[in-house]
Amino acid sequence: MPIITACSVLALACLALSAAPRAFAGGVGDLPPEAGVLAEPASVTRPAQAPADPDVALAPRFDIDLQAPEAVRPFLLRHMDLQRFRRLEDLDSAELDRLLARAPGDLGGLLGTLGYFSPRIGIVREGNGTTPLGLVRIDVEPGPATRVASARVFFRGDIATSPAAAGQREAIEQDVLRPVGEVFTQADWEQAKTQALRRLTGERYPNGRLLNSLADIDADTREAHLYIELDSGPARRLGQIQVLGANRYDADRARRLARLAGIEPGMDYSLGVLQAAQTRLAGSDLYETALVTVEPAGDETDLPVLIQLRERRRQRLQLGLGASTDNGPRLSVEYRHRDVPGMGWQVDNRLQVERQDRLAQTVWTSPVDEKAWRRITSVRWGEQTDGLSTTTSQRLRWGRSREEARLDQSQFLQFERARTVNSVLRMTVRERSRSSLSLNQGWTWRRFDDLIFPERGQGLAVEVGLGATLESPVQPFARLNARWLTYWPIGAALPEPPPQAGQAREPERVQARGSLGRLALRLEGGAILARQQAVLPDTLLFLTGGDATVRGYGLREIGITSTTGTTDPGRYLAVASLEWQRPIGRHGQPGPWEHVLFIDGGAVANQPQDLRARWGVGSGIRYNSPVGPLQMDLAYGLKPREWRLHLRVGFAF
């Protein structure tokens, strides 16, 4: 999409310094009569004859002492012509004088890119100093900055009259108006044009272009008036979907995923929909890379959609070693087949051994259907040890699930069987097998600003189950479980690091980070609604405590203390946690390290009125690594009056 360059800011600055009352960035465009002349200032360019790398060049021939406000001094030192000629071996005094004669214009042009069009520049050459040609002393007073007084955008092509593009026109106009009142800089001006063009080509008009632009500088009033003209060309629609690289997996899978992301032949072109399709394909676990583009079609209205894929291998075997403060060393073996012959389903087999838990499971998942649902069948065997009790369980699930960016859903029929044995007393009543059958529905909503390092937002997960025990007498029951997590930035809104001179500001956006960090509030509750005589599998009941629930206590250490001293699960659960996460600043800006203060509480009981919270308090350090947050907490459990170290990796909801 061509951008017509009509002049440079250097020319604009020179005109501003001249006697003329107004300066125009020249170049004539074909505009509506009321718009005047449009032109697009180009970036300041420097002569190409740069000396050798300063690290290997000779000693400087002269020194520079630049006195200027700190807001502009680094930029001038980095870009001024004098700086580039200091190390020329054959530079003599006469050539230096010629460079000094050109220096005010060079510095004025640079200052013009920052919005200073009335500078005062003094240059004096002194013979003293440690270099052969002495010292060059430069005094710069930038003068008052020029601010953007107005900004207008003109449209040509289909977008100028199309009712369907009214919202798009309004969004572009808002982007163009955003710099009004700000100091004019060349970098921000370029950013404004880029953003306007991005808005134009992102919806309906992929062939849109920037036709003309003008920055009209009034040196007397120190005002800038900005004009942009955009040509949308004809509106385009998405055509048929073509798939390249589908060798291992059926191409219809890729087409189905693209349609689920919103691509429909005949719809208006949308870059956002193409990117959403690309994200969904990449997240499907079938493809290492996925690229979704449109193919040029000359004057044709419909643009064919091209999906280019690089597929993953059908099978994967993974061995894992790990450790946690909750469960000690961990050994795992995982085998995945992404396309089981004859049925096209994916199977995941997992075997995991930890200090207190052992797990073996297989999960079979179908490809997504036209409504994004997957059918799922899973079989799981588990064994967990809590104090003197060991619970062995079997679980069979059959159902379906749907995963979206903001909402996950699951519906499944579940058979659960568990047998708990006290290793010391081996009480007969505790060795009875308990089983149940239930129908379950789950929802998970996510509204976080970032799914790896959230600063604000919230998430809610709810699961509801209705079922019955299978031992005589059969008893109905309902199981409810909900989790809620929210982040609140606290303190004044922390601005993004200010752009250096010559750099564009990012488009305005809501500042998510607070100067005092953020508060994280986590609540969890669970309940089994059933008659007192109903005997349910222990794995449906509740225990809490550990790294991710109530710190200061061991894994599943909070429950109901029986007369034999064991910790048994209960029918009701309540957990709350409040955490203050405060960044550790570096040079006035938050760094990757954070300090954490927290208080956790949890309770388990067989009756709501018997819930008695056990509290843990502590402090920790968190490091925001490329793989996610790494957190180390030292917690004090108030009930056992003991300290406990907790380690966690990653954020998940």
> Would the pLDDT of 459 be above 50?
yes
Percent of the chain with pLDDT over 70: 84
Q: Residue 38: which residues within 8 A CB-CB, separation 6 or more? A: 27, 29, 31, 211, 212, 213, 214, 227, 228, 229
Q: Out of 269, 284, 311, pick the residue that ends a domain.
A: 311
pLDDT in tens, 575-609: 999 999 998 876 556 778 999 999 999 999 999 99
Q: Are residues 521 and 581 in the same domain?
A: yes
- Cα–Cα distances (Å) from 415 to 61, 214, 362, 570, 599, in that order, read 85, 71, 15, 20, 37
Q: Does residue 507 belong to any structural domain of this protein?
A: no
Grade residue 39 by pLDDT with cuts at 50, 70 and 90: very low
Q: What is the DSSP string of 616-634?
A: EEEEEEEEEETTEEEEEEE
Rounded to whole angstroms, the Cα distance separating 95 from 91 reads 6
Rounded to whole angstroms, the Cα distance separating 304 from 274 reads 12
Q: Does residue 148 belong to any structural domain of this protein?
A: yes
Grade residue 20 by pLDDT with cuts at 50, 70 and 90: very low
Strand residues in 475-625 grouped as ranges (E)? 476-489, 518-530, 560-561, 567-568, 572-586, 589-605, 614-625
Q: Are residues 568 and 456 in the same domain?
A: yes
Q: Are residues 582 and 527 in the same domain?
A: yes
Q: Is the dihedral of CA 389, 392, 396, 400 positive or negative?
A: positive
Mean pLDDT of 36-51: 38
Grade residue 88 by pLDDT with cuts at 50, 70 and 90: confident
Percent of the chain with pLDDT over 90: 60
Q: Does residue 125 belong to any structural domain of this protein?
A: yes
Rounded to whole angstroms, the Cα distance separating 594 from 624 reads 8
173 phi, psi to nearest 5 deg:
-60, -40
Rounded to whole angstroms, the Cα distance separating 177 from 149 reads 10
Q: Tell me the residue range of the domain where 537 lies.
A: 368-490+516-649
Q: Are residues 164 and 265 in the same domain?
A: no
pLDDT in tens, 243-266: 999 999 999 999 999 999 999 999
pLDDT in tens, 391-438: 999 999 999 999 887 899 999 999 999 998 876 665 444 456 799 999
Q: What is the pLDDT of residue 60?
A: 87
Q: Does residue 495 belong to any structural domain of this protein?
A: no
Q: Are residues 408 and 306 in the same domain?
A: no
> Would the pLDDT of 54 be above 50?
no
pLDDT in tens, 341-388: 989 999 999 999 998 899 999 999 999 998 999 999 999 999 998 877
pLDDT in tens, 621-635: 999 887 778 899 999
Cβ contact 360:345 at 8 Å: no
Q: Are residues 215 and 259 in the same domain?
A: no
pLDDT in tens, 149-174: 999 999 999 999 999 999 999 999 99
Grade residue 3 by pLDDT with cuts at 50, 70 and 90: very low
Q: Does residue 192 belong to any structural domain of this protein?
A: yes
Q: Are residues 248 and 189 in the same domain?
A: no
Q: What is the pLDDT of residue 405?
A: 76
Grade residue 325 by pLDDT with cuts at 50, 70 and 90: confident
- In the block, which residue shows the tokens 């008036």? 225
Note the pTM of the prediction, 2 decimals.
0.73
Q: Does residue 146 belong to any structural domain of this protein?
A: yes
Q: What is the DSSP string of 245-309?
A: --SSS-HHHHHHHHHHTT--TTSBPBHHHHHHHHHHHHTTSSEEEEEEEE---TT-SEEEEEEEE
Q: Does residue 206 belong to any structural domain of this protein?
A: no
Question: Which has more pLDDT, 647 or 652?
Answer: 647
Q: Does residue 265 belong to any structural domain of this protein?
A: yes
Mean pLDDT of 56-71: 83
Q: What is the DSSP string of 451-466?
A: SSS-SSEEEEEEEEEE
> Would the pLDDT of 30 be above 50?
no
Q: Are residues 459 and 562 in the same domain?
A: yes
Q: Are residues 147 and 258 in the same domain?
A: no
Q: Which CATH number do you get for residue 632? A: 2.40.160.50
Q: Are residues 5 and 135 in the same domain?
A: yes
Q: What is the pLDDT of residue 425?
A: 64
Indicate the number of domains in the chain.
3
